[in-house]
Amino acid sequence: MQKPKIGISCDLSKRTFPENPKERDRHVLMDAYILSIIKSGGLPFLLPSVTEVNLTSHFIRNLDGILVSGGAHDIDPSNYDADRHAKCAPPNIKRENFEICLIKKAMELDMPILGICGGMQAINVAAGGTLYQDIQSFFDNPLQHQPDEESTYSFHNIEIESSKLEELFSSSSELVNSNHHQSLKEVPESFHINAFSVDGVIEGIESKENSYILGVQWHPESLFSYMEEDFPHSKKLFSSFIESSLIYAEEKK
């Protein structure tokens, strides 16, 4: 059986060396993203943050789906015409420019896209949306969306609206994991908000126009890789993405 080829965007960090150039880029990715794609029947391909647009086009032509991963940076507010807030963390310009270009090209081809945490925020910005630069600064009595120092995630419930996501999960409420301090603000008309947390933070979006573009603010890759029995909805999410990518692969033959 054919396995769809899934491109996964990587995080981009710096490493220092004794000789010049002393500071060099390093692409890294948590293993859970790779495990989730393999467990769901896909072939993962790690995508470096390149600056050449033609290389991004070559990536797209050889893939069947895009997974935009989360990251430790905050998207530069200039990408959505906003001034920088004091709590906005430093950007990762090379990475976010690559991801925004990648998302736009995939959208043009109606290629399946799954965005996780910061990946959902990148989808929203690429489509013309905006972000709240710090949840604590803009929401009254927000939930704990960032974990304490001894934990990897905080956990809270989400409420799922009538949507493709609700049909997929067969549920209107789920427990999810969380590690973020920014959230979606304005969402483009071409997208439907499919999930919220009780404090009003947007937890999920899906495209009204493309066949499959889904963004979630939590981290289903960790739930699927390490806690699948307790969080079966994580498997459903990745299965739907791989199924859509397989359909895309068959249709482009």
Contacts of 179 (CB under 8 A, 6+ apart): 70, 117, 145, 146, 147, 152, 153, 154, 219
Here the tokens at position 112 are 């399946």
Give the residue carrying structure tokens 């120092």.
149
Q: Of 145, 180, 219, 233, which residue is the catalytic one? A: 219
Q: Of 117, 145, 203, 233, which residue is the catalytic one? A: 117
Q: Is 85 part of the annotated catalytic residue set? A: no
Cα gap 183→65, rounded to integer Å: 24
Distances, alpha carbon 17 to alpha carbons 25, 60, 199, in Å: 11, 33, 45
Q: Of 180, 206, 221, 233, which residue is the catalytic one? A: 221
Cα gap 101→138, rounded to integer Å: 29
Cα gap 168→236, rounded to integer Å: 7
* CB atoms closer than 10 angstroms to residue 195: 26
Cα gap 251→157, rounded to integer Å: 37
Q: What are phi and psi of 217, to 5 degrees?
A: -85, -15
Cis amide bond preceding 21, omega within 30: yes
What does 153-182 look like in DSSP terms, one character per residue? -EEEEEEE-SSHHHHHHT-SEEEEEE--S-
Q: Is 219 part of the annotated catalytic residue set? A: yes
The 8-class DSSP code of residue 218 comes to S
Here the tokens at position 5 are 């080829």
Q: Which residues are catalytic?
A: 117, 219, 221
